[in-house]
Structures are given as C-alpha cells and as structure tokens.
Amino acid sequence: MTPDSVAAAAWLQNMNASGDHRGRRGRPDWTDFGFFLLLAVGAGHVLSEYGTFMDYYEKLILIGAVGLFSWMGWLWRPLRTLMLASGLTALLAIWLYSPTGVLLQGDLSLAEDRFLLKYLISSQSAILWMCALFVLATVCYWAGFASRTAAWLGTILTWAAVYAGVTGLLVRWREGHLLGPDIGHIPVSNLYEVFVLLSLVTALFYLYYERRYATRALGGFVLLVISSLVVFLLWYSFTRDAYQIQPLVPALKSWWMKLHVPANFIGYGTFSLAAMVGFAYLVKSHGETRTWKPLVPVFILGAVLCAEPLIFGSRELSATWMLYFGIGALIVGTILAFRAPIARKLPALEILDDIMYRAIAVGFAFFTVATILGALWAADAWGTYWQWDPKETWALIVWLNYAAWLHMRLMKGLRGAMAAYWALSGLLVTSFAFLGVNMFLSGLHSYGEL
C-alpha cells in the first residue's frame, strides 16, 4: 500500500474506533419522522390557503418537495436545522412586510422603516451579509492552517453565510410577488439570482464533505471559488442594478424552470467543488517538490481561472478586473510557494481523490437530469427537443467532458494528478458554458446575457 492509502485507512479506522459515524446516515428516528410531518403539515396549509394561486404542476412540485427535503434531512441532518432556521426567518420577514399582520398582504416600503428588514433580513440585506460572511470565512479557513480555532470559525461563518443566502432567496421570492402578481417568481431566473444559488450549492456540498471526512483543510481552497463568485456578484449587482426584481421574460414563464435550473446549478456547484479539490490534490502531490517546473501547469491553470472574470466582466480592460486578476494570480502563486506547509495539513491524496470523484459523480447525475429537463422544456416551449443553440451545444460539451472523466476513472482507473488536472481544467469549460456563451454567443438563451 502507498503511504496515502495507509493514511486514508488509518483515518477511517480512527473514526470508527472513536464512534464518529458522521459519514453514515443511520436509520430514520423520531426526529426524521417529525421533520417529515412538519413539512407535510406546512405543505397542506399552503395548498389549502393558497392552492387557488397554483397550477397543477406547481402543486405536484410542492408535494414532491416534501418527500425530497425529508430525504435530504435524513441523509444529512444539519440540513434540517438550516431549512428550519431559514424558513422561520423568511416567515418573520414576510410578517414584517405586512402592515396588518396578514401574510397575504404586504408593503415593500416597510423595508426602509423596520430595522430587521433594512439591515438584516430583506433579500438584498441578507444576500449582502452572505457575501461578507463568505469572504470572512475564506480568510478564517486560510488562517486555520496555523490555528484550529480559526478553521472552526471558518466553518461557522460558512454556515452563517449559507443561512443568510437561503433566507435572502426565500424573502426575494416573496418580494417579487409583493411587486405584482405577474412579477413574482422563483428566484433562479437571472444571473444575479443564479450566482447566489451557485455560491450556496458549492458551499453546502463542501460543508457536507467537510463533515463526512472530518477535515477543514479544504475550506480555504473551496471558499476561494465562492469568494470569486461573490466578487462577480457584487460587481454585477451594483454596476447593472441586477439586484432589482424584474418580470420574467416569456420564455421563462414555465414550471419547468423550477426543476431545470436548480438541477443545473447543483451540477455547476459540484463541478466547481471538484475543481478546487483537484487544485488541493496538486498542491498536496507537489508539496515536497523543490523545483517549480512541475508546478508551471498548475499556476497557468490557476491564473487563467483568475482571468475569467476579467474576460467575462467587460469587453474592455478595467481597473477593477485588472486588480482582481492581479490579486487572484498572487494568491495562486502564494499557495504554490507555501505548498509544503499547506500540503502537510491537507488530507491524504486518496481522500482528496475520493472527494473529487464523488463530487463529479453527483454533479454529472444532476447535470444529466437538468439536460433532459431542458430538452423537455424546449419541446414544450419551442416544439423541438434540441436546436443546437450555443447554450445547448456547450451544455453538451460540459456533459461529454465529465462523462469522459467518469468513463476513464471507472473503466481505465484514472487517478492522481491527471484526474486533478482534468477536474481543474473542467472548470474552464463549465465557466464558459455558464457565462461565456451568454456574453460572446447569441441564441435562444440570450436572455441571460451580461
């Protein structure tokens, strides 16, 4: 066995011996049944009170969500706490928007008069808190290489950021309906909203693997890509007024959006996670390398990824994105320069390889479902399943890229640095499919352009 195999086996043995079963689901207990009952009662209340405002498909989605969230809460029990906390906070915000206390009524102008709405739990305030907390969490995770307390604080701040972001999206959903009956929609319809969603999905999957593998050393790597999303989100929000809630374009007025977009961004989020784990794998594998020659490809990939917002942010060079690129390249170079002490804190290579594989496998499954749902949506909207639209073509390229990765792993035993380089490079392909197509290519999906 290799040293990393021994380390991975020892890690699993120590967890089992200590009674730490965080990687196991366990059998459903009374709390799982209680959570299911709570969701079922809530869904029943919504159907009885607001069913007249919902169509047949929306009712089916609501009923299906009860089973899905119950299963997710059993699969990973901390998720139940998040759902309850965010849901109750969103209900508080909805109540604060109502001048009479009746939830069906509301006045958006109250956001300037009520302290909690103005500074904490209106959608824009909550999402800004999410951005700030993600950046602070990134700093704490990197400080965690020198202090366990800082790493622990990074986890707390990441959870707090996710809580704020989920709350913000839920409240934004309600705020849209307060603007007008034809304006309200699920908040996954434009770049601003899906950037928030992508940040949350990436963070949640990271937190799951952090707990399952009992390591916080990957937090700094994964939070780097989330912080990049946050920077782009803030730039996009304040330069384009993207935080304003706008009516849906006709092509998006469909219940298919409630299924297709979340599934799609679960794929994007897990692919982003796998890429950063791949980066950590390369840092770990070259931790004791004294020459920089093997690290040149790693730096080039990292620098190109840092340059993507520069490319997608504006067709012209700007001081903002030049500064961003410079700082990003400096961070990548610093990580590589201090690779030896960082590598000693990272999990064994086999654990990193396993996380990378699981993330890509989950992402590929959801991306496949999203692609199928997108084809069905296209048939419903345009009368054909596939039109070789640029967005559809690049979605296929992303799918083929990760299908090939999984095929090479399962059939040919792909492991090690090659798998990590491939996962890291895959983020370039995914990023272009996500943003580059919208900016540089026209087509049926041009409603998402920058």
Token duo for residue 177: 């309906």
Residue 65 and residue 58: Cα distance in Å, rounded? Answer: 10
Does residue 274 sit within a domain? no
**What's the pLDDT at 420?**
93
Helices (DSSP H) in 24-183: which residue ranges? 30-50, 56-75, 78-97, 115-116, 123-143, 148-179
**Is the confidence at residue 333, as pLDDT, over 50?**
yes
Angle (CA) 306-133-318 rounded to 5° is 35
**Is the confidence at residue 4, as pLDDT, over 50?**
no
Q: Which residue has the higher pLDDT, 236 or 88?
A: 88
Q: DSSP per residue over 292-342, as a string?
A: SGGGHHHHHHHHHHHHHHHHHH-SS--HHHHHHHHHHHHHHHHHHHTHHHH
Could you tell me if 159 and 207 are in contact, meaning their C-beta atoms sit under 8 angstroms apart? yes
Q: How confident is the model at residue 292 (pLDDT cuts 50, 70, 90)?
A: low
The pTM for the full model equals: 0.90
Q: Which of 46, 47, 65 is nearest to 103 (CA)?
A: 46
Does residue 63 sit within a domain? yes
Could you tell me if 2 and 52 are in contact, meaning their C-beta atoms sit under 8 angstroms apart? no
Does residue 146 sit within a domain? yes
Q: Which residue has the higher pLDDT, 321 or 210?
A: 210
**Is the confidence at residue 392, as pLDDT, over 90?**
no
Does residue 230 sit within a domain? no
φ, ψ for residue 185, nearest 5 deg: -160, 165
Number of domains the chain contains: 1
Residue 331 and residue 348: Cα distance in Å, rounded? Answer: 23
**What's the pLDDT at 301?**
66
Q: How confident is the model at residue 311 (pLDDT cuts 50, 70, 90)?
A: low
The region of weakest confidence among 35-49, 109-123, 171-185 is: 171-185
pLDDT for 359-388, tens place per residue?
A: 999 999 999 999 999 989 888 877 888 888
Residues of the domain holding 100: 38-45+58-204
Does residue 161 sit within a domain? yes
Does residue 399 sit within a domain? no
Does residue 314 sit within a domain? no
**What's the pLDDT at 192?**
92
Token duo for residue 236: 């996009």
Could you tell me if 376 and 256 are in contact, meaning their C-beta atoms sit under 8 angstroms apart? yes
Does residue 123 sit within a domain? yes
**Is the confidence at residue 419, as pLDDT, over 60?**
yes
